[in-house]
Chains A and B, each alone.
Chain A
């Protein structure tokens, strides 16, 4: 037995799992030395500017390039006609559909890509783009998805009008994309037929946008001499993109290098392949020089992957005690003009079927109908975990509505329906097996921390006071996430399973380089993966370098989205490290001349049991592994790679509580308090988790309180710039209180679950429930988001409570 303080010191030196290790990434970012895509400058590089459609729906009669080509600094103007010879005027999407790269014959949404002008710099390219003359014939636009499948609805997608399916089963209308369902409809219907109480509500998740501070862009560089294509780009999934580029271009995948570099936030916006990337790549292949394309903020909000736009209908059936007996959720999904919905092939509505939430609901059925409209494509983005935002919003709103109908307290009704701790792993009636959970203690902890009883008493007193100028609302959300896509039997994209990977190489002197198939966009992977390795191998995190994003170097993986990095690559990291540790143990046994079974691991070394002075540190083993002094038949080196196919998803959970005060006369909502408890199992770096929570809650605040991408009846985008699109500053953003419990994931190598999207997923219903709760004593069961002052004032006005006495 060693001295305890010495052991603690050795453990501390590692800065491994569980420590709030300061971030390795910061060193370059605080000095302005990050390397983001627009920082890249290559010899001869041209700049591409996109000509975009002013109409939501129109035929293109002709395109006149002549004036643009005559402008100084303009090198070329590319249109669909230039892409046709290489068959790239259309591209496949992750949703099984195709998307126009440059519009051919017609445009289907406003701001759609019509041409790209190549200039010697961005000013010349912009000048050229303004001089391209396009002759349009306007067509009627479909903006309301409820009108998409009208008998007389205009056909948006003439290119696939005669196709009976576009990737996900039969289509019943030219504007119908798919219908997907889960659960036992007959059983759910029977539960409703015999229920004591049923509630029903129409609940919209409005279209919003992830709006990362850095927009999308790339530098494509095709070397004509070698036939080798390098693309620096804002991508969350560089390996999948490389595969897609190989399929599209015919260039061998070994001759395509995609580099993620530093990415200024992704938030799901940077998973899909956008037309801008494809045109820049084609332009580089055609011209033989590098081509940079960087979109503007307005381009980004208007044309890249939006989030949500689910027109939901929720129904719950229950007994008089509020115990839920049945659930029927449907959603009309507005996917825009092309189905570029990011999801596993077999899951066209993502993981929406997690919508039974944290509750034991015996009978459930859900259905999603997706339709085309004259809007930009997208749907899955913005910390949604593949439609979990929509699922959690529906169940958390509906359980409030049920509580209201029965006169049961909103915390109490949740408690009555929770999946019990002892019932995990728990298989829901929609088929997901929740790994672990401890919901009731988490709820109790939050209620106590916020003095829930006291808050309800204060609210009752406020409601009893006729002179009160404000309404008080208390919002609760007790959510269950599903993250870590995913088991390859269920989850693939383009046929490629959603495993992920880690390759670890240990150097003779104990330095480590580790590369992964994921791609950070600020979540701190370079720090936290190093912490996993540090603890597994007993080598300090400071000597472990982590790299992602360069497809020539990193092992194949599906990228970072859906909070999948910790569940999948985090697992691969531990597994690869354990392979190294197994080999190191063999070397230690050889050196110490004992059997492997005689060794025990102590922080950073193998010790002989009962003989503590006989030990070999991992650092010593690193050097020996590169010599001839290793067991007979063993290869030199100390390296391993792991490709991890997860057995299940991870299911983190949380309890959030929000208190708001609503000004009756202006509709302004003030967030008085927001308390967020998250349980993501084993915590790798508490500091980094807290930062993820703060960011996600701020997004949730923005979505619930002000964000929206509306369209007018002609399909014009409204509010598609920061003039209107609500991004809170430090002034509007509430102060966050965070808390946690630890319920490890039993199937994960280190017990860790994903977490980064939880605050957005759980935060939105919590804010929304708080605002609506403020009106619940006045007979209001639901108000659609966003809860901005005008919309909340309209509710006050409708109730006649906005008049000053």
Chain B
């Protein structure tokens, strides 16, 4: 493959080098070369958002980005949201609010919601629905997804308030049990 280019980027905090043809889509590089099979493919017209990843602080549909465009960038996928064995508040909330069924849209949906809550930490229901309108789901009818994003927003706000006020932090910690990882 004489036409290959070496591309370097940070994936979930770790440096990665890949050698790809210029035409290779980011979603295929992630899934097939880097074994990050969380992001999925649901269409070829850039509508469904199942392939959503976070690229340099933006939610992008990785089926609509060339890997060679990602040199030097920082990328976060669903695989990068759990930190030190603790689920992100959104992952926990999708579980608690039954915001997923088949799980196929879930990685893209959560990754999008992760960026949405950084763009707007206290969204209204309408802002959440608009904010995830690039992500299609066939199972849930969205209602529990909205509830999950609302629930996560509340938890993140509480955690932020707690960390801003150290005295309150201890109280908050006492009031809410430590987050348990979700297991089968």
Contacts and interface: CB of A to CB of B under 8 A. Distances in A.
A28 B184 contact: yes
A26 B138 contact: no
A10 to B, nearest CB: 22
Contact of B94 (A24, A26, A296): A26
Interface stretch (B30-38, B66-74, B157-165, B168-176): B30-38
Interface stretch (A50-58, A353-361, A722-730): A722-730
Contacts of B103: 25-26, 28-30, 34, 262, 264, 522
A491 to B, nearest CB: 26
Nearest to A122: B28
B95 A694 contact: no
A33 B129 CA distance: 26
Interface stretch (A157-165, A571-579, A582-590, A731-739): A731-739
Interface string B29-53: 0011001111111111101101000
A691 B140 contact: yes
Given A36-B40, A213-B105, A265-B102, A731 B129 contact: yes
Contact of B141 (A33, A36, A697): A697
Nearest to A691: B98
Given A297-B43, A721-B43, A721-B44, A27 B101 contact: no
Nearest to A546: B184
Max chain A C-beta neighbours (<10 A), residue from B31, B36, B129, B132: B129
A691 B32 contact: no
Contacts of A27: 95, 182-184
Interface residues of B, number: 60
A34 to B, nearest CB: 5
B92 to A, nearest CB: 8
Interface in A707-766: 721-723, 727, 729-731, 733, 735-736
A605 B183 CA distance: 27
A31 B141 contact: no
12 contacts: A23-B98, A25-B103, A25-B184, A26-B182, A27-B182, A29-B100, A31-B82, A39-B37, A262-B102, A690-B98, A695-B101, A695-B140
Given A213-B138, A729-B132, 13 more contacts: A30-B182, A213-B136, A265-B102, A267-B138, A297-B45, A522-B102, A545-B184, A691-B140, A694-B141, A723-B47, A729-B136, A730-B129, A730-B133
B91 interface: yes
Contacts of B142: 694, 698, 729-730, 733
A738 to B, nearest CB: 9
Contact of A32 (B28, B38, B43, B102): B38
A69 B95 CA distance: 49
* Pairs A-B, 9 closest by C-beta atoms: A32-B38, A29-B103, A522-B102, A264-B104, A694-B141, A522-B101, A698-B141, A32-B78, A722-B47
A526 interface: yes
A29 B129 CA distance: 22
Contacts of B136: 213, 722, 727, 729
Contacts of A698: 140-142
B96 A22 contact: yes
B31 A39 contact: yes
Contacts of A263: 102
A691 B140 CA distance: 6
Interface in A298-316: 298
A522 to B, nearest CB: 3
Contacts of A33: 38
A77 to B, nearest CB: 22
Interface residues of A, number: 61
Nearest to B106: A29
A251 interface: no
B79 A32 contact: yes
A38 interface: yes
A523 B31 CA distance: 26
A31 B91 contact: yes
B140 A23 contact: no
A694 B145 CA distance: 11
A38 B31 contact: yes
B139 A522 contact: yes
A265 B95 contact: no
A698 B144 CA distance: 13
Interface in A107-164: 121-123
Interface in B78-118: 78-79, 82, 87, 91, 94-96, 98, 100-107, 110
A30 B105 contact: no
Nearest to B182: A27
A214 interface: yes
Contact of B77 (A28, A30, A32, A265): A32
A26 B107 CA distance: 11
Interface in B120-153: 128-130, 132-146
Nearest to A521: B102
A212 to B, nearest CB: 6
A672 to B, nearest CB: 16
Nearest to B136: A727
A262 B101 CA distance: 11
A750 B38 CA distance: 37
Interface in A208-250: 211-215
A61 interface: no
Nearest to A26: B95
A797 B22 CA distance: 52
A690 B144 CA distance: 9
Nearest to A35: B37
B182 A691 contact: no
A768 B40 CA distance: 34
A777 interface: no
Nearest to A73: B1
Contacts of B106: 29-30
A210 B36 CA distance: 28
A403 to B, nearest CB: 29
Nearest to A723: B45
A554 to B, nearest CB: 18
A265 B137 CA distance: 10
B24 interface: yes
A687 interface: yes
Contacts of B91: 30-31
A688 interface: yes
A41 interface: yes
B111 to A, nearest CB: 9
Contacts of B35: 41
A524 interface: yes
Contacts of B79: 31-32
Contacts of B23: 123
Contact of A38 (B41, B48, B77, B133): B41
Contacts of A25: 103, 184
A731 B130 contact: yes
B102 A22 contact: no
A580 B144 CA distance: 37
A592 B35 CA distance: 56
A24 B182 CA distance: 8
A545 B183 CA distance: 12
A692 B138 CA distance: 11
B97 to A, nearest CB: 9
A722 B145 CA distance: 21
A691 B139 contact: yes
B138 A727 contact: yes
Nearest to A693: B141
A685 to B, nearest CB: 10
A722 B45 contact: yes
A722 B98 contact: no
Contact of A23 (B32, B50, B95, B135): B95
Given A27-B183, A730-B129, A735 B135 contact: no
Contacts of A24: 184
A323 to B, nearest CB: 37
A730 B32 CA distance: 30
A186 to B, nearest CB: 45
A123 B98 contact: no
A213 B48 contact: yes
Contacts of A694: 140-144
